[in-house]
Structure 1
Amino acid sequence: MFGKGITLFRILGFAVRVDLSWLILALLVTWSLAVGLFPNARLGLAVSTYWWMGLAGAAGMFVSILFHEFCHSLVARRFGMPMKGITLFIFGGVAEMDDEPPGPRAEFYMAVAGPLSSIVLGLAFYVALLALEGSKALAAVTGVLGYLAFINWVLAAFNLIPAFPLDGGRVLRAALWHWKKDLRSATRIASRLGSAFGLVIIFLGVVNILLGNVIGGLWQFMIGMFLRSAAQMSYQQVLVRRSLQGAPVARFMNPDPVTAPASINIRELVENYLYRYHFKMLPVRDNGRLIGCISTQKIKSIPRGEWDRRTVAEAMDHCSAENSVRPDTDAMKAFSLMGRTGNNRLMVVEDDRLLGIITIRDIMGYLQTSMELEENGDRHR
């Protein structure tokens, strides 16, 4: 869904990242608060003060969304779910999970943790507002506190809408999952409702554009498109996991892969192997024994003037958890590893012996057939 983003810091083991699209949201929020909301409140403050309030409001919203997602992550960890971190982006934030929740109970508690945290944080800002209210010297502070209390309650209310993948939609999926005892069926129903809700938001956006509210309408249109896409993608992810989980990579691998000799130089490798077979990574063997792998990415870092002098053995990468898997490795784990590292080819290794190569193309071919069969089955339900 996102690019790699920028890692800001780590807190309690969670990496907090910001997607570049978040900057757009931060600028829009700061601008709308500084030239719209706060001046319209008739606080009688200087223009520069409104801009400082806008910055403070945007920073407070950043903290509020981070707190919301952090509470999701803490509950997820409590139920044993591995979390990749928290990413903030143009439409808010997301706690990134490697897998689906282990059961409906875990899904429910993880989902409600976010809205409940926003309600509590909104109350904290409101209590602080009441404590400082009436002081003209602190008008700017109380203005920001009032905005942050309101925005946290809006965040909670919006997320409680039963439209997957919003938190309310996850609560609905947890209930359906508990009732039907079937995650795929529960996700299919919840994602369809989420997709329908996205269409409603898109329609409202178009209406607003036609009525002259172009900026607000475009914003609603983009949010609706995102929700619709996220709902559909969530169901596809469940189908992918259902198809791949429990299937060993040995089932998909090519047991007779092309390998490169360790003794040849880089130019020979490029001319006789890469240009011929068009692979981005090749296992490297020395007298029949696997000793590592060589990739086009690694070759790009070697000056062409050194290609005749450097051997494959000197330039290769050794076998590691980033480029190799065991034959009994779950195919879903291999698929996730490919996505995380960007390696579309992994060596299948056992006791330092090369058993084969598994590629993203091998997995996707299987997935395409499997998911077509799943979709045909859904049509007859």
Structure 2
Amino acid sequence: MFQKLVNLRHLNIEGAYRLEGMPVQIGKLTCLQTLSNLFVGKDNCSGLKELGPLKHLQGTLRISRLENVMEADDAKDAELIKKTKISALFLEWSRDNIDESKDSTSELEVLNGLRPQNDLVELVLRYYGGTTLPNWLTPPSFPRMVSLTLENCYKCTSLPPMGQYLPSLKNLRIGGMANVESVGSELCGGNLETLDFYDMEEWENWSPCEELPNLRELSLIGCPKLLGKLPNNLPLLNKAMIYNCELLACGGKVTFKEGVCVRKFTFEGGVMRVRKVIFISFPLISYQLTRRVDQGLKMEGLVESEKLTINRCEELTNLWSDNEGSLPQLPFLKALCIYNCSKLVSLLAEEVDKKHLQLGIPSRIMSIRIHNCIALESLPKAMM
């Protein structure tokens, strides 16, 4: 019955993840313009090749459960390269597609057959089980691609040279690439604005380009073996997050060049070095903060912060004191949050409190939130 809907233009089945496959002979719906998701069925009765006759597809196309493709030629028969109006393509295998004995060569053949048209703007590749990425990602192609996501392609050991071959690429997300150990020149030569690395369990070496002049947002999350340093020239950076990158914090240098204006920065680790960086909002998350102050942590860059969050600084007893490592004057601070600092006794050390706030709590502060600081004995007298 479904194949009789020959005038159907739009079919949106987003979120229908329990579907076993697509309706039989969906390829007969030749007027179809929107197909939100194609589920490849296990019995292959409505396989990938059903996309072939759908020449008017446009917008976003998601192809799911690609592990069910039995014949690599079905991918070629889908003729994605001829569908010039598809702007965003999601190619997804299932999450449980982690069979080490499975032939990864066949998955590469399927992916090579799914080459999209050159004017693609966004590409997402998830849970692909091949050891190498498709050959169509490396030639000079996709001049208009703006966004690329490579997620949980766990057998791949390297990344394609994206900066060189994707001149319009602005947003790059790389996650769950469990066998990638080194990243180097792959990012050079591009115009990246957003760069996210996450859940990179074995990533150890990063030799970043000296310049990523257009980068505005940087995230490094869950890269426990990463050493090295950040790119040097980030003049437009305004948001950064570094989280669960213990070796980067301890053995490398989390450094920002002088003059960079970071509007939001979240950091968990041990050592951060800054030189006259302007932090507009600075959630500082570091349980090792006070224990590593003698290894080079500099606080001058916080001077223009408007928000400061301190969490799990287990050795912290005072925020402001005459000791080295104390917070500097923060004249623009409006919000102060302190969480889970089990040894915090007071905000101001006794000798500072007597100076009537010549050092210490800024006059512009509008909000103070303190939670689970069990040793806190008193607030500054000026607040009482």
* TM-score bracket for the superposition, by shorter chain length: under 0.3
Q: TM-score, normalised by structure 1?
A: 0.24
The structure that is helix-richer by fraction is 1
Q: TM-score, normalised by structure 2?
A: 0.23
